[in-house]
Amino acid sequence: MDVKAWLTESFDEVIEVDDLTSSAAASFARFVDRHAAELAAVVALRRGGAGELVELTFRTGRPQQSVVPIRRTERIGVRFAGGDSMPFVYVLRSDFPDTAHQNLTAEGSPRAICIDDRSWAEARLTWTPAELVQRILAWFRRAAEGALHDARQPVDPLMFGTGYNIIMSRALIDNVNTQDLVAVPDDTGTLMRVIPLSQLQGRTLALPLTVAAYRVPPAQMVRLSFAPGNLGSLADLLAARGIDLFADLRTRLAEWLNDARTNAARINSCLAVVVEMPIISPDGIQQGTDFRAFVTAEKVGDIAVALGIAHKVESKDQGGAAGFVTALTAGAVDEAALIAMAVLPVEVHATFDRDLATRLAGRAIPDARKAVIVGGGAIGAHVAPCLTREGRFRWTVIDDDVLLPHNLARHVGFGGDVTRRKSELLAGALASILDDEDSVATAITAQVGVEGQQNDDVNAALDGADIIVDASASLLAERFLSDHYSKARRFSIFFSPAGDAAVLLAEPIDRSVTLRDLEAQYLRHVVREEALSGHLETPVRTFAYTGACRAITNLIPESRVMALSGLVAEGLGRAADADEGIIRIWSLGTEGQVRSFSYPAEDVRRFDVDGWQVSLDAGLRSRITAMRHECLPNETGGILLGVVDIPARKIHLADAAKAPADSIGSPTGFVRGTDGVQQLIDRSMAETQGQLRYVGEWHSHPPLVGVMPSVTDLSQINWLATIFDMDTLPGLMLIAGEAELAVVFMRHSEASSPLAERSVR
Amino acid sequence: MQALVNFFPLGNADTARLDLADGRKVLIDFAAMRCDDDEDDQRCDLPTTLRRDMDKAGRDYFDAVCITHTDTDHCKGFGDFFWLDHAALYQGKGRVKIRELWVPAAAILEENLKDDARLVRAEARYRLRQGKGIRVFSRPERLKAWMEAEGIDFESRKHLIVDAGKLVPGYTLNGPEKVEFFVHCPFGWRQDENTVVDRNEDSIVMQATFVEGGRKTRLLLASDVNYETLAAIVKVSRKHGNEDRLAWDLMKLPHHCSYKSLGPERGSNETVPDPDVKWLFEDQRQPGSDIISPSWPIPVKGSKADDDVQPPHRQAANYHRRITVAHDGEFIVTMEHPSKSDPKPFAYKITAFGFALALAAPMVAGTAAAASPRAG
């Protein structure tokens, strides 16, 4: 290509700086003159049909050994087209290399480097000539270092530049031959939705469109460097990628012409050639696919004539409805006629499917795991759509509630949805986000975790799930889900009662730590972490939405729900991508500040004694060990705090307090004091809404003594069994030895025979 | 951190600042040439420029300052700018400290010195006596007699002496500094035989090798030596199989583009180099290498400056330009870059792709931050 000829043709008038009408062009030219002499020098200022051009020599800062052949000084032209377009940077050299990050220019134009992909309307607010210069410099530097894009970015430029767009689902592209299509333009005429003719409703302006779709195999993929402008150059472009456009069109079009009556509409519609190109990153990995379309103004019939397989007929008598007939003997392809047929490059937007959602969320691998979410209330209705928009999960929504007016304060539902089942409402919302062939979401209207109620659908859904998300805000449902026979990994998400914090409990992938275990660990952190003081406090102000005494709802504004739900959704996605279990808490301050707390799930050891299960996690074990060690050679001890589930006969030990100040420890015994004990129990209860309670006593044994209860210990467990009988709980004592722990357990009714379970630490 | 090699427009005078990958700073020569009372003096205000860089880096010292020889155009202003350990007069707020002073033996041995040369000598002698903060470039024998006469114990100072053909201790390619300095000159044999000290030919010549991303970039710092010394360096290096120690990507031209650093005759249009020097300039240069001439602008043919005996010599420049352009390189004259009317300091970045000129669009914030605006 001849740069000089292009320059004189496109920008025929050479002007002075005062003649520049574009203020950006003038300020750029002046900036270069006055401030950037060491970088660039203006050679000429030009004007033409395409706008104003500042032509300059530019020092590229090319390193000694450049990855692409850039010169130390390049001649460049910056075009200011006015209106809503970004200054366009041409490199005025016919042999400038084809690199990534160039704008696609028309055939016959010099190459243009893509230095800025923002919209001009937005960029101009802060645009300065210095920034333009800096961006050009940065482009050259990255080009020279072979770093124009990171490895995950596709090699092709996204912008076609014609401004025309069509929207089409992948399914439609894959089945273009099965139905007649029309393109329905929007009110600007530049954006068209391609739909089957059969779906066209009412009287709408619609362009009959025939689509021929091609797929470039990954191995054949090469970067586009120019946008083809006619059918001839389009055929060349495809030929370079292993596709013989004309031969294929001859076959396709001949078939339609053979049944011209049926295909009359098709033969008289415009042709759109849709090319599906793999997006290959520079490291050779396919990132997905991209669609480009090239639309002709000519009818399919006229193209068939140029291809030498049809004749145009003047009257219907000669060839039926189509106006074209098959040529009896196929003639030669009229290349000149095809080159004269202009094609308009058009961007194709595939509808929003899982692949696209995944990519736009910045992830690489689509996540179509089956997730059951229990609870379609505030947190579920925000977190699930958020994850769906990020391409995550195939959902089953379980809820038995209906949407009431006050729910609109914190939900995806609208006024018209009131009285609808939350399960169906949320599943419908999720399904409408992704254009996916597989069902994105289904609904089960049922209550979960109510004793005596079994629901086959619920059981089947839970059993078939990969992931179960408890968003029920109910301890009962959470524990039901924790105990369910399904092998799916569990998560629980909920807001604090005051709505100023959100919590995520994530089981490890092997479920060695369950939701129940995490619940106890979470409560320990709430009590121990000073910054979380008041985390579970019930707000003073609530709202009774009817006169009934349980019809109380919290006063949490939607803005907070959204903020916290976003944090939870991100945390949930991340936890679901990792194998480890985790507890996360996000606490939102009054000024919008977020504090984030993160705790690994601690391994749990379970003791089964007499129909009860006592669980003890590694965090607590090491804490007890440390306290024992600190007091050696004396014994030490204190109270135990834990979570109890009386019907399920489960006790989760959550925390062990250190010895009160007035305790007496010796190498042969320990007497627990009372200083501060009541206060600690009260505070733990208060901080955890009564969930973390006093469950027993612990003490240490000196080395070489073992962990079996001594005679003194036996009388203590007797005492414990007596007092815990008040709460229908067993007495519980934990003994920490050199290498072992023993849980001593006794129920009042059988006070004479305590049971002990030992465990090596 | 990206290593930088900085040059400054100082007329016919040398200063190069090496900003190493680990943050260390090495200054090769210091020549504050600008006349403060002359507003038209286009030479850069070196003390201010260096101090601004110190402030930016949050430090008040150079890790090493190398005075290649004690001619004025290599050490002018030494006593005004640096904190000198040898006398309280040269100590005080604002003075820049020197962790390690590098000098040729000649700088210590030479008599009848004046001004800054004398101060360099005093400081070097003081540090040698203290046994720290100094490296002397020469064969040990040369110094031995003088040290004995001065009553300085030789054995305990021996480690401070760096011989030609060796690397300067403390700098390795594998360390975080990612640079090493190979010493070519002063030679042992020359210094042994010389009775009269010849400053230029006894000055320090080094090859600095930087490494970045596995790629080496070599900077040849050839002080003010003439073609005979260069030829001798070439011969010695070849004899020892050290040809690669004379390979270069960046060349700080010796003696301000003097023909005398090329060959015996100035020539009318182009100096013809001595064969060994030709080998150094043509065969040892790497593809795309640059030459930096620390000098006044190259005189135009027939101008008054063209007749001057002083460098830069047009004929030498013509040779360098022709060869450099043929090798896809650039010949940059410090007083001509970016323009004769407004020369400015400039820097090369050391990258994994070789060196590259450090370029940036001038920004308001950057300019404002470097200025001290006043309001009345």
A631 vs A569, higher pLDDT: A569
Tokens of A98: 């084809």
Q: Which amino acid is at A586?
A: W
Tell whether the model's pLDDT for residue A739 goes beyond 50: yes
pLDDT for A190: 78
Asked if residues A233 and A107 have their Cβ atoms less than 8 Å apart, the reply is yes
Q: Check residue A196 and give its pLDDT.
A: 81
pLDDT of residue A187: 80
Q: What is the mean pLDDT of residues A708-728?
A: 81
Q: What is the pLDDT of residue A759?
A: 60
Test mutation, B4, B218, B353, chain A, max A CBs within 10 A:
B353
Please check the confidence at residue A717 and state whether its pLDDT lies above 60.
yes
In this prediction, residue A321 carries a pLDDT of: 61
Q: Is residue B70 part of a domain?
A: yes
pLDDT at A282: 58
3-state secondary structure of A212: strand
Burial class (CB in 10 A: 0-12, 13-18, 19+), B53: middle
- Quote the pLDDT of residue A316: 60
**Contact call for residues B179 and B171 (beta carbons, < 8 A):** yes
Around Cβ B58, how many Cβ atoms within 10 Å? 7
Query: How distant, in Å, are the alpha carbons of A531, A624, A721, A724, B100 from that of A657?
Result: 19, 9, 20, 19, 60
Which domains does chain A carry? Answer: 3-144 (no CATH), 165-351 (no CATH), 360-600 (3.40.50.720), 604-760 (3.40.140.10)
B39 in any annotated domain: yes
Beta bridge partners of B183: B206
Strands B331-333 and B285-293: parallel
Q: Could you report the per-residue pLDDT of A193-247, keeping only the tens digit for each?
A: 888 877 777 767 778 888 888 888 776 666 666 778 889 988 988 888 888 999 9
Interface contact flag, A38 B288, Cβ < 8 Å: no
SS (H, E, C) chain B: CCCEEEECCCCCCCCEEEECCCCCEEEECCCCCCCCCCCCCCCCCHHHHHHHHHHHHCCCEECEEECCCCCHHHHCCHHHHECCCCCHHHCCCCCEEECCEEEEHHHHHCCCCCHHHHHHHHHHHHHHHHCCCEEEECCHHHHHHHHHHHCCCCHHHHHHEECCCCECCCCCCCCCCCEEEEEEECCHHHHHHCCCCCCHHHCCEEEEEEEECCEEEEEEECCCCCHHHHHHHHHHHHHCCCHHHHCEEEEECHHHCCHHHCCCCCCCCCCCCCHHHHHHHHHCEEEEEEEEECCCCCCCCCCHHHHCCCCCCHHHHHHHHHHHHHCCCCEEEHHHCCCCCCCCCEEEEEEECEEEECCCCCCHHHHHHHCCCCCC
3-state secondary structure of A514: coil
Mean pLDDT computed over every residue of chain A: 85
Separation CA B89–CA B94 (nearest Å): 13
Instruction: Report the pLDDT value the prediction gives residue B195, as an integer from 0 to 100.
Output: 46
Q: What pLDDT, on the 0 to 100 scale, is given for residue A486?
A: 94
A64 and B330 within 8 Å at the Cβ level: the answer is no
Q: Are A64 and B353 an interchain contact pair (Cβ–Cβ within 8 Å)?
A: yes
Model pLDDT, residue A435: 84
Instruction: Give the containing element (helix H, strand E) for A444.
Output: strand A441-445
Q: What per-residue confidence (pLDDT) applies to A157?
A: 47
> When comparing pLDDT for A161 and B317, which is higher?
B317
Low-confidence stretches of chain B (pLDDT beneath 50):
191-196, 368, 370-376
What is residue A374's three-state secondary structure? strand
Examine residue B370 and state whether it is found in any structural domain, yes or no.
no
SS (H, E, C) B144-173: HHHHHHHCCCCHHHHHHEECCCCECCCCCC
Number of folded domains that form chain B: 1
Q: Which of B18, B65, B74 is nearest to B203 (CA)?
A: B74
pLDDT digits (tens, 9 = 90+) for A67-125: 889 999 999 999 998 766 788 999 999 999 888 778 777 777 898 888 877 777 777 77
Task: Indicate the residue type of B96.
Answer: V
Give chain A's contact residues with B (Cβ, < 8 Å): 35-39, 59, 61-67, 72, 130-134, 137, 141, 144-145
Is A144's CB within 8 Å of B355's CB? no
Q: Which residues of B touch A59 (CB under 8 A)?
A: 357, 359
Residue B325's CATH number: 3.60.15.10
Whether the pLDDT of residue A547 is over 60: the answer is no
A164 vs A458: which has the higher pLDDT: A458
User: What CA–CA distance (Å, rounded) separates B263 from B284?
Assistant: 17
The B-side interface with A (CB below 8 A) comprises 215, 217, 249, 286-290, 330, 337-339, 342, 344, 346, 349, 351-364
- Predicted structure pTM score: 0.59
For residues B208-247, b (16+ Cβ closer than 10 Å) or e, as one string? Answer: bbbbbeebbbbbbbbbbbbbbbbbbbbebbeeeeeeebbb
B290 to chain A nearest CA, in Å? 9
Query: Which of A652-666, A745-759, B166-180 reaches the highest mean pLDDT?
Result: B166-180
Query: pLDDT above 70 covers what percent of chain A?
Result: 89
A144 to chain B: closest CA residue = B353
Closest approach of B77 to chain A, Cα-based (Å) = 29
pLDDT at A551: 54
Single out the residue of A102, A111, A130 nearest to residue A39, CA to CA: A130
| Residue in B129, B134, B133 with CA at minimum distance from that of residue B150 | B129
Check pLDDT > 80 for residue A278. Answer: no
Q: Is residue B372 part of a domain?
A: no
Which of A386, A392, A395, A393 lies closest to A363 in space, CA to CA? Answer: A392
- Is residue B369 one of the residues assigned to a domain? no
All residues at 6 or more sequence positions from A619 whose CB lies less than 8 Å from its CB, including other chains: A521, A524, A602
Domain span at residue B108 reads 4-363
- For residue B371, is it within any domain? no
Q: Please state, as a whole number, how many other Cβ atoms lie within 10 Å of the Cβ of residue A208.
A: 17
- Measured in angstroms, the CA of B348 and the nearest CA of chain A are apart by 9
Q: Could you tell me which chain A residue has the CA closest to the CA of B329? A: A64
Cα dihedral value A15, A19, A25, A31, nearest 10: 90
Q: In this complex, which of A66, A134, A137 lies closest to B353 when CB atoms are compared?
A: A66
* More confident position, A607 or A380: A380
CA quadruple A714, A715, A719, A725: dihedral, nearest 10: 40
pLDDT, tens digit (0-9, with 9 covering 90-100), for A111-157: 888 887 777 777 777 788 888 999 999 999 988 988 776 544 445 54
A406 phi/psi in degrees, rounded to 5:
-70, -20
**Distances from the Cα of A470 to the Cα of A383, A497, A560, angstroms:** 12, 16, 20
Mean pLDDT of A288-305: 85
B373 domain-assigned? no
pLDDT at A332: 84
pLDDT at A555 over 80: no
